[in-house]
């Protein structure tokens, strides 16, 4: 980085030196207004300055270097002002090179590298038009160089023919460039277009201005050669600024910001890794995927399986490795960053962080699997309760009624011995007592009201049976809720009430049920001693588990001496 | 007395038929589903319908819904609803109509044939038979809300519960082994204490008490 800085400094110093010489010497020039000379020199310096900044800030991007080359071309053109014979000849030779550099910039944007064969040929042709086809201009026309030193003969026909050929070549290169730009603009994404469109528009305007300005402005606005040339130079002078800004602005490849990634790693509070990478590489669509060793496939940040070929359509991907292990991949837009090495370098910087995120993703995946299995367990337990309650109701309970009836039939037989009748009556009472116990058991397993009428009725029945005065408030409660919600809500309320009775030494309890949007909200309050802790008592832990399994939230407020409020929200989408 | 039975358990359906036949009832039909119960009731127009609450097709409160429907459409039909589990809400729903002749009993009561038949006869005669269990539930709940109940003596509370079950003064006297005169005294004291409207009709008396307990 340091050597690059000093090299660029030397280069810039050289440019400034040339510029100063030109400006100092232009006073002697007899040609044209003096400020026109200065304008050319200034344009060269603007190119060098813009190019150097872009080069410095985006070392891997070659746009900066191309702009700097353009700057030196302009400075060479400006040598004409030195009145020195050989330097003026150089100027004559290089006079159309700024046009070729402009073509080069338009084709090479954004990375500075030429992407297609067509672009490559067009740029080579542009330089050929500027340097080779320039030859006839001064070889056959002694007027074009001081004392005709560059001329080999004076042949106006050949000179005119040469100029004509150069014009045709220039226009061809120009048209191809405009077509290529149009095509690229069409393929570009919306975001890319925001950067490309103004740039290409400016480029097209500049391209058209070169050959058309003299033929258009001079007759149209009655302008002389000087203002037309001034306009041309000014348009060219704006070009490097526009390109440098586009490169610096981002949206397109950055390199030195990889250092920013390093800073990001060290920062205490950092935005998500994917976002940091996206910003650094100027690609909002960038995605980071993680390699799951366990499943031998790529997953996303949540550990969900991911189809890389699917997300990678029209995308490029670079693997991220750590200590020779694959930990993930960066999937990016190759039109925004056409240098995979740059993306790979970014990946190396963040490899540890990617590995960390990868582990987190795997953890998330296993946590999700655990949650699903817990849900299944609770669901299975609840269905089993329901089944047992039903079986007892339809089977054992009915059986006990029938048995008691049989016993009573024996007790009622007048022909039977008195002691048999007495024993049968006793048997019947015994069966009745057993039936009563069974009723309580069935009630505890799955209350009939919950099966027959749903949550509201079941909680009402529960409240009716509380040994402590208990109020029930219901707001916007429909007759039935989804089975799962009803069961969880019922057992949560039953548990909370049982807790209050057992531990709170309360004199009053209150149950509130509200359906708000997609949540069932349960509030169980008591006026007891407080001091209950979620997760501490077995009862509260049971509530917490049940609530957690259905993705609900539990909040227990229990200040010592000031009662307890158990607040539960259960997601409840009514179909 | 012609009776239609609604009970999905074959064992209980037969047991019930037997008990009712022995008790002098004429069982004209025995339905296994709530829909069938409605059909049989419409067809036979019985004096009494005895039905289980949880029955097909939904296995929820189908039997109760059928019973409530019968009470609405055929108000002269006496109805006794049986269940394995009693709830205050069901009792109130059954008593909410204006007609008399309703019972709500625990299924296990069938076995105590003598009293069960007496309860059915009382309902057929336009009376009421609420299970002692559901009355206890109501009184216990009401006690937390109404101080007046706490001012009643234990004996008066017993009398109040028996009134809520739908028993006549005579029946209460026999149950508590006291004279009917003593019962009348207790009843009038209860009326004063709770501020109930005086009624000679046992069924209206039940309604008044239940309404008071459910306030």
Give the tens place of pLDDT for each residue, A108-134.
887 777 878 888 899 999 999 888 888
Phi, psi angle pair for A323, to nearest 5°: 50, 45
Structure confidence at residue A226 (pLDDT): 76
Look at residue A262 in the predicted model and tell me its pLDDT: 64
pLDDT at A408: 93
Strand residue runs (E) in A425-560: 470-475, 509-516, 519-526, 553-557
Homologous superfamily of domain range B2-130? Response regulator (3.40.50.2300)
pLDDT band at A271 (very low <50, low <70, confident <90, very high): low
Q: Nearest by CB to A401, which of B89, B108, B137?
A: B108
The model's pLDDT over A302-328, given as tens digits with 9 standing for 90+, comes to 878 777 656 666 778 888 988 888 899
- Count the neighbouring beta carbons within 10 Å of the beta carbon of residue A148: 14
pLDDT-based confidence at residue B115 (cuts at 50, 70, 90): very high
Q: Which of B12, B131, B49, B80 is CA-nearest to residue A406?
A: B12
pLDDT at A510 over 80: yes
Is residue A256 very low, low, confident or very high in pLDDT (cuts 50, 70, 90)? Answer: very low
pLDDT, average across residues A188-211? 79
DSSP B107-134: GGGGGSHHHHHHHHHHHHTT-EEE-HHH
DSSP result, A359-377: HHHHHHHHHHHHHHHHHHH
Instruction: Establish whether this prediction's ipTM goes over 0.90.
Output: yes
Average pLDDT over residues A128-153: 79
User: Is B78 within 8 Å of B126 (Cβ atoms)?
Assistant: yes
pLDDT for A151 equals 75
**Mutual orientation of helices A273-280 and A351-391 as an angle, nearest 10°?**
140
**C-alpha B90: how far from chain center:** 11
Per-residue pLDDT at A502 exceeds 80:
yes
Shortest CA gap B60–chain A (Å): 4
Q: Specify which of A232-246, A268-282, A297-311, A427-441 reaches the highest per-range mean pLDDT.
A: A427-441
CA distance A383 to A389: 10
Judged against a pLDDT cut of 90, whether residue A340 lies above it is answered with no
- Band (pLDDT 50/70/90 cuts) for residue A237 is confident
Question: With an 8 Å Cβ cutoff, is A443 touching chain B?
Answer: yes
The yes-or-no verdict on residue A374 having pLDDT over 90 is no
**Which whole number is the average pLDDT over A512-517?**
93
Is the pLDDT at A410 greater than 90? The verdict is: yes
Predicted confidence (pLDDT) at residue B94 exceeds the cutoff of 80: yes
Nearest by CB to residue B11, choosing from A398, A452, A468, is: A398
Q: What is the pLDDT of residue A193?
A: 78
- Distance from the B184 Cα atom to the nearest Cα atom in chain A, whole angstroms: 30
At residue A535, does pLDDT exceed 60? no
Model confidence at A1: pLDDT above 60: no
Residue A413: is its pLDDT beyond 70?
A: yes
CB neighbour list of residue A438: distance below 8 Å, 6 or more residues apart: A392, A396, A397, A400
Q: How many residues does chain B have?
A: 215
**Phi, psi for residue A456 in degrees, rounded to 5:** -55, -50
Residue of chain B whose alpha carbon sits nearest to that of A431: B108
The per-residue pLDDT for A254 is 44
Whether residue A448 lies within 8 A of chain B, CB to CB, comes out as yes
Q: CATH 3.40.50.2300: which residues of chain B?
A: 2-130
Residues 6+ apart with CB under 8 A from A463: A470, A471, A472, A497, A511
pLDDT higher than threshold 50 for residue B145: yes
Q: Give B-chain residues touching A397 at CB under 8 angstroms.
A: 84, 107
Which pLDDT band holds residue B48 (cuts at 50, 70, 90)?
Answer: very high
- Interface contact flag, A404 B108, Cβ < 8 Å: yes
Q: What confidence category does residue A255 fall into, taking pLDDT thresholds of 50, 70 and 90?
A: very low
Q: Do A453 and B89 touch (CB under 8 A)?
A: yes
Q: Residue A162: is its pLDDT beyond 90?
A: no
- Flag whether residue A432 sits within 8 Å of chain B, measured between CB atoms: yes
Identify any residues that bridge with B48 across adjacent strands, giving them in sequence order: B3, B78
- In this predicted structure, the answer to whether residue A222 has a pLDDT above a threshold of 60 is yes
Domain covering B134-214: architecture: Orthogonal Bundle (1.10)
**Testing the interface with B: which of A387, A392, A402, A456 to mutate, by most B Cβ within 10 A?**
A402
A269 touches chain B (CB under 8 A): no
State the average pLDDT over residues A544-568. 89
Distance from CA of A439 to the nearest CA of B (A): 7
Mean pLDDT of chain B: 91
Q: Does A428 touch chain B (CB under 8 A)?
A: yes
CATH-assigned architecture of domain A453-571 = 2-Layer Sandwich (3.30)
Spatial separation of the C-alpha atoms in residues B124 and B78, rounded to whole Å: 6
Residue A550 to residue A518: CA distance in whole angstroms: 13
Above 80 in pLDDT, residue A402? yes
Q: Is the peptide bond before A110 cis (omega within 30 degrees of 0)?
A: yes
Average pLDDT for A69-77 = 89
pLDDT number for residue A245 = 82
CA distances (Å), origin A153, targets A89, A138, B29: 16, 9, 132
Distance (Å, whole) CA A392 – CA A400: 10
For A62-66, what is the mean pLDDT?
87
Average the pLDDT over each of A140-144, A255-259, A331-335, A479-483 and give the range with the smallest value.
A255-259
- Ranges for all domains in chain B classified under CATH 1.10.10.10: 134-214
Chain B contacts of A452, Cβ < 8 Å?
53-54, 60-61, 64
Contact list in A for residue B114 (CB cut-off 8 A) is 412
Residue A253 banded pLDDT, cuts 50, 70, 90: very low
Fold of A2-249: Rhopdopsin 7-helix transmembrane proteins (1.20.1070)
Q: What's the CA gap between A487 and A388, in Å, rounded?
A: 15
B160 conformational bin, left if phi > 0, alpha if psi -120 to 50, beta if neither: alpha
pLDDT category, A26, cuts 50, 70, 90?
confident
Distinct helix (H) and strand (E) counts, chain B: 11, 6
Confidence of residue A252 (pLDDT cuts 50, 70, 90): very low
pLDDT bin (cut points 50, 70, 90) of residue A30 is low
CB contact under 8 A, A448 and B15: no
- Give the residues across from A360 on adjacent strands: none
* A33-62 per-position pLDDT tens digit: 777 888 888 899 999 999 998 888 777 678
pLDDT of residue B64: 95
pLDDT at A571 over 80: yes
Which of the 8 DSSP states describes residue A465?
A: T
pLDDT at B207: 85
Any residues with CB less than 8 A from the CB of A88 and at least 6 apart, and which?
A: A79, A80, A82, A145, A146
The overall average pLDDT reported for chain A is 84
Nearest CA in chain A to B19: A405
Per-position DSSP letters for A516-547, written without gaps between them: ETTEEEEEEEE-S-----TTTSHHHHHHHHHH
Whole-angstrom CA distances from B34 to A440, B31, B37, B53 are 26, 7, 5, 9
pLDDT at B84 over 50: yes
pLDDT band at A94 (very low <50, low <70, confident <90, very high): confident
Both tokens assigned to B84: 């394995």
The residue among B15, B85, B146 with the most chain A CBs within 10 A of its CB, best to mutate, is B85
pLDDT for B159 equals: 93
pLDDT of residue A211: 66
pLDDT of residue B6: 96
CA distance B86 to chain A (A): 9
Asked if omega into B57 is within 30° of 0 (cis), the reply is: yes
pLDDT at A437 over 70: yes
Stated as kind and residue range, the H or E segment containing B5 is: strand B2-6
């Amino acid at each position: 980085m340091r050597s690059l800085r000093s090299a660029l400094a030397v280069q810039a110093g050289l440019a400034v030196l040339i510029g100063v010489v030109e400006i100092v010497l232009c006073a002697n020039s007899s040609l044209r207004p003096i400020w026109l000379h200065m304008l050319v020199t200034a344009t060269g310096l603007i190119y060098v300055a813009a190019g150097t900044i872009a080069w410095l800030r985006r070392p891997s991007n070659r746009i900066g270097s191309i702009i700097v080359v353009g700057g030196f071309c302009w400075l060479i053109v400006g040598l004409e002002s030195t009145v020195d014979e050989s330097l003026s000849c150089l100027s004559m030779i290089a006079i159309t090179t700024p046009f070729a550099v402009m073509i080069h910039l338009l084709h090479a944007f954004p990375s500075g590298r030429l992407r297609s064969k067509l672009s490559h040929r067009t740029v080579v042709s542009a330089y050929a038009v500027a340097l080779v086809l320039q030859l006839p201009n001064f070889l056959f026309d002694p007027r074009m160089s001081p004392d005709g030193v560059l001329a080999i003969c004076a042949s106006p026909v050949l000179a005119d023919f040469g100029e004509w050929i150069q014009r045709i070549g220039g226009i061809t290169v120009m048209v191809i460039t405009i077509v290529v730009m149009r095509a690229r603009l069409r393929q570009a994404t919306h975001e890319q277009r925001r950067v490309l469109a103004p740039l290409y528009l400016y480029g097209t305007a500049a391209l058209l201005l070169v050959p058309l300005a003299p033929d258009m402005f001079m007759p149209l606005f009655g302008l002389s050669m000087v203002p037309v040339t001034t306009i041309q130079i000014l348009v060219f002078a704006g070009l490097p600024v526009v390109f440098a800004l586009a490169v610096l602005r981002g949206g397109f490849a950055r390199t030195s910001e990889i250092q920013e990634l390093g800073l990001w790693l060290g920062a205490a509070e950092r935005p998500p890794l994917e976002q940091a990478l996206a910003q650094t590489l100027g690609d909002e669509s960038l995605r980071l995927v993680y390699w799951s060793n366990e499943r031998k496939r790529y997953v996303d940040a949540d550990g969900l399986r991911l189809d890389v070929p699917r997300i990678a359509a029209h995308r490029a991907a670079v693997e991220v490795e750590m200590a020779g292990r694959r930990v993930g991949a960066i999937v990016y837009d190759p039109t925004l960053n056409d240098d995979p090495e740059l993306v790979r370098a970014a990946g190396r910087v963040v490899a540890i962080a990617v590995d960390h995120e990868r582990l987190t993703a795997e953890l998330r995946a296993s946590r999700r699997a655990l949650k699903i299995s817990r849900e299944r367990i609770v669901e299975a337990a609840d269905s089993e309760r329901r089944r047992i309650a039903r079986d007892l109701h339809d089977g054992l309970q009915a059986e006990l009624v029938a048995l008691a009836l049989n016993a009573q039939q024996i007790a009622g037989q007048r022909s039977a011995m008195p002691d048999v009748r007495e024993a049968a009556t006793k048997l019947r009472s015994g069966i009745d007592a057993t039936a009563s116990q069974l009723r309580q058991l069935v009630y505890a397993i799955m209350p009939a009201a919950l099966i027959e009428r749903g949550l509201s009725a079941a909680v009402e029945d529960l409240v009716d049976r509380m040994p402590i005065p208990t109020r029930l408030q219901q707001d916007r409660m429909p007759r039935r809720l989804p089975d799962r919600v009803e069961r969880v809500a019922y057992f949560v309320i039953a548990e909370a009430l049982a807790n209050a009775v057992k531990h709170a030494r309360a004199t009053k309890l209150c149950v509130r049920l509200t359906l708000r949007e997609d949540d069932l909200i349960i509030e169980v309050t008591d006026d007891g001693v407080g001091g209950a802790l979620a997760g501490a008592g077995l009862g509260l832990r049971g509530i917490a588990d049940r609530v957690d399994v259905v993705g609900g939230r539990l909040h227990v407020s229990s200040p010592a001496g000031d009662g307890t409020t158990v607040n539960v929200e259960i997601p409840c989408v009514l179909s | 007395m012609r009776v239609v039975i609604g009970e999905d358990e074959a064992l209980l359906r037969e047991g019930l038929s037997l008990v009712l036949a022995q008790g002098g009832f004429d069982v004209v039909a025995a339905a296994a589903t709530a829909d069938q119960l409605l059909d049989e009731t419409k067809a036979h127009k019985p004096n009494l319908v005895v039905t289980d609450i949880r029955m097909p097709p939904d296995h929820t409160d189908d039997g109760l819904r059928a019973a409530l429907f019968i009470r609405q459409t055929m108000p002269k039909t006496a109805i006794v609803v049986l269940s394995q589990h009693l709830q205050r809400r069901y009792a109130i729903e059954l008593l909410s109509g204006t007609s008399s002749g309703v019972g709500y009993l625990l299924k296990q009561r069938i076995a105590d044939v003598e009293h069960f038949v007496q309860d059915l006869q009382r309902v057929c005669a336009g009376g009421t038979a609420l299970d002692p269990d559901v009355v206890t539930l109501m009184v216990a709940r009401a006690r937390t809300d109404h101080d007046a109940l706490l001012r009643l003596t234990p004996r008066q509370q017993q009398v109040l519960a028996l009134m809520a079950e739908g028993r006549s003064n005579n029946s209460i006297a026999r149950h508590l082994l006291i004279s009917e005169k003593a019962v009348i005294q207790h009843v009038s004291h209860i009326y004063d204490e709770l501020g109930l409207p005086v009624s000679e009709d046992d069924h209206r008396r039940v309604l008044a008490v239940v309404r008071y307990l459910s306030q």
